[in-house]
Structure 1
Amino acid sequence: MEQLTLPENFFFGAAMSGPQTEGGWNVGGKLENLWDTWSMEDIGAFHNRVGSYVGNDFMRRYKEDLELLKGLGLNSYRTSIQWSRLLDEDGNINPEGAAWYHELFRASKEAGIEVFVNLYHFDMPTYLFRRGGWQNREVCEAYANYAYKAFCEFGKEIRYWFTFNEPIVEPENRYWHPIWYPQHHSFQEACEVQYNISIAHALAVANYHRAVAEGHMLDDARIGMICNFSPSYTKEDPSEADLEALRMNDGLTNRWWLDLVTKGELPEDVIATLQELGIKLPIRPYDDQVLSSGVVDWIGCNYYQPCRVQAPSRDRDEWGNPLFAEPYVWPERVMNES
C-alpha cells in the first residue's frame, strides 16, 4: 500500500470548545454562562441529560486526552477560552481560570501539539446576557476587554487566534428560530445581535493589533474568524424571485461575514433590504470606522452542507418574521452513498 505523507507545516488536528468539553462549570471562580443556565433550567433539552456540568470532563482528563490526540497522529487542536472562566464580573482576570489555561497550554506544548484558540463559542456569561447580551453595545465593549485581557495573558504562548466560532449560528438559533435558550422568535433581535457581533469582532481585532504593538504577542501570531459557510444555490432555471432569495440568503449567512473579515465592511445591498423591511440595526455614527478594523489574517471554514433555496411561498413566518427564502430540494441530490 502506498504511504501518504502530509506536507510539511500541515496542521492535522481536531476541534473542541471550552463549554462543550471542560466541565467544571462552577469551580475555580468560573461564572455561570448561558449553557450552565440552560442546563439548570431544562436539563432534559440535552442529549442523555448531559449539559454543561460535565462536558467531556476535559479539565480532569486533559493529560490523557492529549495523549489520545498525540496517539492519533495529530499535531494540533482548536479549543476555546471561556469568557466566564477567564474573567470575573468586574472584567478582570480570574487567577484560577487563567492558571487552568496556562496549564493546558503548557501540557499541550509538552505533548508537541499546537493549540489554536477561539475566544467565543456561543458561551455568553449569563450576567451579561441579563444586561441585554449582544443587543447591548456595552457587552460588545466588555467582549473587547475580554479579548484584550486574553491576548495579554496568553500572547506569548498561543500563536493562532480566532474571535468567534460560527457567528451566524447564535443570531439564528438563539434569537430567530426556537432552538437555543431562551428560544426567541424575533428576526429583529437576530439582526441586532448579528450586527453587534460584527462590531464586537472588529473591536477585538483592533485590540489584537494593540496587543501586538505593545509586545504582548508572538512575532508570527495571527488573528481570524471561524465561519460555517454554506454555499447558496437555487434552481437551474431560476425565476427573478428565486435569484432574490439566493441573494439575501447568501448575503445574510455568507457574504456578511466574508465582507467583514476581508473588507472591513458589511454588504450594502443586504443592509438596504433589511432597512426597506423596517429592520432597525443598532448602527452608530462612525461604525464604518469601527468595522474597518475587522479585517483578519486568515479565515477558518467549517463546512457541513450546501444551502439550496428558492423563492418563499409567503412573505412572513408564523411569528411575523420576514421570509427571504425556502428550502429547495434538488431532485438529483445524493448523500452518503457507498
Structure 2
Amino acid sequence: MAELTLPKDFFFGAAMSGPQTEGGWNVGGKLENLWDTWSNEDIGAFHNRVGSYVGNDFMHRYQEDLAILKGLGLDSFRTSIQWSRLLDADGNVNPEGAAWYHELFRAAREAGLEPFVTLYHFDLPTYLFRRGGWESRETCEAYANYVEKALHEFGKEVRYWFTFNEPSVEPENRYWHGGWYPQHHSFREAVVAQYNISIAHALGVARYRAAREEGALRPDARIGIVCNFSPSYTKEDPSEADLEALRMNDGLTTRWWLDLATKGSLPADVLETLARLGTPVPARPGDEEVLRSGVVDWLGCNYYQPCRVQAPSRDRDEWGNPLFAEPYVWPERVMNES
C-alpha cells in the first residue's frame, strides 16, 4: 500500500469547545453561562442528565486528553475560551480563568499541538442574557471588550483565532425554533439576534486589527469565523415559489455569513424581504461602516449535510412566524451505503 502524506500546509486536527468539555462550571471565579443556567433549571433536558457540570472533565484531564490527540497523529486542535470564565461581570479579566487558559496553551505547545481558538461557542454569560442577550446592542459592545481582553491576554501564545462558531445556530435554536433555553419561538427575536451577532463579529475583527497594529499579537496571527454551511437545493424542475424558498433559505443561512466574512456587508435582497415582512434588522446609523470591518483572513466551514427545500404549504407556522421553506425529500437520496 502506498504511503499517504498530507500537504505541507494541511492542519490535521480535531475540535472541541470550552462549554462542551471543560466542566468546572462554578470554580475559579467562573460566571454562570446559559448552559449552566439551563442545567440548573432543567437537568433532565440533557442526555444522561450530564448538563454543563462535567463535560468530559477536560479541566482536570487536559494533559491526558492532549496526549490522546497527539497519539492519534494530530498536529492541532480547536477549542474555545469561555467568556464566562475569562472575564468577571464588570468586563475585567478574571485571574484564575486566565491562568487556566495560559496553562492549557502551554500544555498544548508542550504536546506539539497547535491550538485554534474560538472566542464564542454559544456560551453567553447569563447576566448579559438577562439584560437583553443578543437582542441588545450592549451585548455586542460587551463582546468586543471580551475579544480585546482575550487578544491582549493570549495574543503572543495563540496564532489562530475565530470570532464565532456557527453563528446562525444560536438565533435559530435559542430564539426561533425553541430547541435551546429558554425555548423561544420568535422569528423577530432571531432576526435581531442574528443581526447583532453580525455586528459583534465585525466589532471583534476590528479589535483584532487594532491589537495587531499595537503589536499585541503574533505577526503570523490570523482571524476568521467558523460557519456551518448547508448548501441549499430544491427540485430539479422548480416552480417560482420553490426558487423563492431557495433564495431565502440560502440567504439567511449561507449568503448572510459569506457576504459578511468576504465583503463586509449583508445580502440586500434578504434585508429587503425581512423589512417587507415586518421583521427588519435593527440597523443603526453607522452600521454599514461597522460591518465593513467583518472581512476575515480565512473562513472555517463545518459541513454536516445539504439542505433541500421547497415552497412552504402555508405562510406562517404555529407560532405566527413566517415560513420561507419546507423540507424537500429528494427521491434519489442515499445515506450510509456500504
Deviation digits for residues 227-268 of structure 1 (CA, Å, limit 9, x no counterpart) = 000000000000000000000000000000000000000000
By how many angstroms is 1:124 displaced? Answer: 0.2
Report deviation, 1:121: 0.4
Q: Report the secondary structure of 2:26's partner residue.
A: coil
- C-alpha root-mean-square deviation of aligned residues, in Å? 0.5
Q: Aligned partner of 2:24: which letter?
A: G
Where do 1:1-338 residues align within 5 Å?
1-338=1-338
- Separation of aligned partners in 2, 1:78 and 1:264: 25
User: Runs of 4 or more off by more than 2 Å in structure 1?
Assistant: none
| In 2: Cα distance, 1:65 partner to 1:334 partner | 36
Q: Any idea what the Cα deviations from partners look like across 1:192-213, whole Å, max 9, x if unmatched?
A: 0000000000000000001001
Q: Determine the C-alpha separation between the residues in 2 that align with 1:34 and 1:75.
A: 32
Counterpart Cα distance in 1 of 2:7 and 2:135: 44
Q: 2-side partners of 1:303 and 1:280: how far apart? A: 29
SS of match in other structure, 2:212: helix
Query: Deviations along 1:132-183, whole A, 9 cap, x unmatched?
Result: 0011101100000000000000000000000000000000000000200000
Offset of residue 10 of structure 1: 1.5
The amino acid that maps onto 2:91 is: G
* Native 8 Å contact 2:152 2:217 kept in 1: yes
Where structure 2 has 5 or more consecutive residues not aligned to the other structure, the ranges are: none
Q: TM-score, normalization: structure 2?
A: 1.00
Q: Which amino acid aligns with 1:184?
A: H
- How many angstroms apart in 2 are the aligned matches of 1:201 and 1:37? 24
Identity rate, percent: 81
Unaligned runs of 5+ in 1: none
| Matched pairs, number | 338
Distance 2:199 2:9 in 1: 33
In the TM superposition, what is the alpha-carbon distance from 1:9 to its structure 2 partner? 2.8
Q: For the residues of structure 2 that align with 1:195 and 1:307, how far apart are their CA atoms?
A: 22
* Residue pair 2:271, 2:280 contacting (<8 A) in 1 also: no
Letter in 1 for 2:259: D
User: For residues 129 and 280 of structure 1, what CA distance do their matches in structure 2 show?
Assistant: 22
2: CA distance between counterparts of 1:178 and 1:162? 26
Distance 1:82 1:288 in 2: 29
